[in-house]
């Protein structure tokens, strides 16, 4: 619960202190880069977005992000994710996006792990760091404030499915979905 409060507090501080998101008189709807900050289950994800192609309705987005999670009494994890997505924005600012993700996720478990040796004996290997490759697909819904205001800011909700390989913890429901809630900033100094 403590980590959830820290993540939520970080989001709120970002919004409150984001006077750099207000644009000048220039057209802000065609920003070519963005900074994303979002809450994920028991953690935080920070990323950079680059818009490879954009027109009035569509954007093709490449992104890289780092994530940190803490599941109390279970595990802590950190990772690096790259993604590619297609976003369609309506005239009123509402948008839909979908895309694929690929990355690395490492987890440190809060309890001793055991391994079965080839002779059938069980050995305590202690608390270990486990590495995984992740592959996922997400669908996002959001609102782009720059379509109607001078605030160059987007809010989003992005559920997704992903798979970890190898699946070290054997708890399927922890490995098959993600929920991201966050914002994307386009500060004037980040071009």
The region of weakest confidence among 103-107, 133-137, 169-173, 174-178 is 169-173
User: Over the stretch 8-41, which tens digit does the pLDDT of each residue have?
Assistant: 556 555 554 454 444 444 444 567 899 999 999 8
Domain ranges (residues) in the chain = 2-21+31-185
Q: What is the pLDDT of residues 48-77, one digit of tens each?
A: 999 999 888 899 999 999 999 998 888 899
Q: What is residue 25's predicted lDDT score, i.e. its pLDDT?
A: 45
Most trustworthy range by pLDDT among 1-15, 32-46, 117-131: 32-46
146-182 pLDDT tens trace: 888 888 899 999 999 888 887 655 555 555 788 999 9
Per-residue pLDDT band at 101 (split at 50, 70, 90): very high
Backbone angles phi, psi at 19, to 5 degrees: -65, -15
Q: What is the CATH number of domain 2-21+31-185?
A: 2.40.160.20
Which position has the token pair 């403590």?
2
Q: Which residues pair with 157 in a beta bridge?
A: 141, 181
- CA torsion 158→159→165→171, rounded to 10°? 140
Query: Could you tell me which of 176, 183, 185 has the C-alpha nearest to residue 41?
Result: 176
Give the angle subtended at the CA of 34 by the CAs of 148 and 16, to the nearest 5°: 65
Alpha-helical runs (H) found in the chain: 2-16
pTM: 0.76
Higher pLDDT pick, 139 / 3: 139
């Amino acid at each position: 619960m403590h980590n959830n409060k820290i993540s939520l507090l970080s989001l709120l501080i970002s919004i409150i202190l984001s006077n750099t998101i207000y644009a000048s008189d220039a057209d802000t709807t065609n920003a070519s880069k963005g900074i994303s900050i979002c809450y994920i289950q028991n953690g935080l994800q920070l990323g950079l977005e680059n818009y490879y192609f954009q027109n009035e309705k569509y954007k093709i987005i490449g992104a890289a992000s780092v994530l940190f999670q803490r599941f109390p009494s279970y595990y802590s994890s950190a990772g690096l994710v790259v993604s590619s997505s297609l976003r369609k924005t309506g005239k009123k600012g509402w948008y839909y996006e979908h895309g694929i993700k690929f990355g690395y996720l490492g987890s440190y478990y809060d309890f001793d792990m055991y391994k079965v040796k080839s002779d059938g004996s069980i050995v305590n290997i202690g608390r270990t760091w486990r590495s995984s490759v992740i592959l996922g697909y997400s669908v996002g819904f959001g609102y782009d404030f720059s379509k109607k205001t001078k605030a160059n800011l987007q809010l989003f909700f992005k559920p997704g499915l992903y798979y970890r390989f190898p699946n070290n913890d054997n708890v399927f429901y922890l490995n098959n979905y993600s929920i991201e809630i966050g914002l994307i900033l386009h500060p004037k100094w980040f071009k």
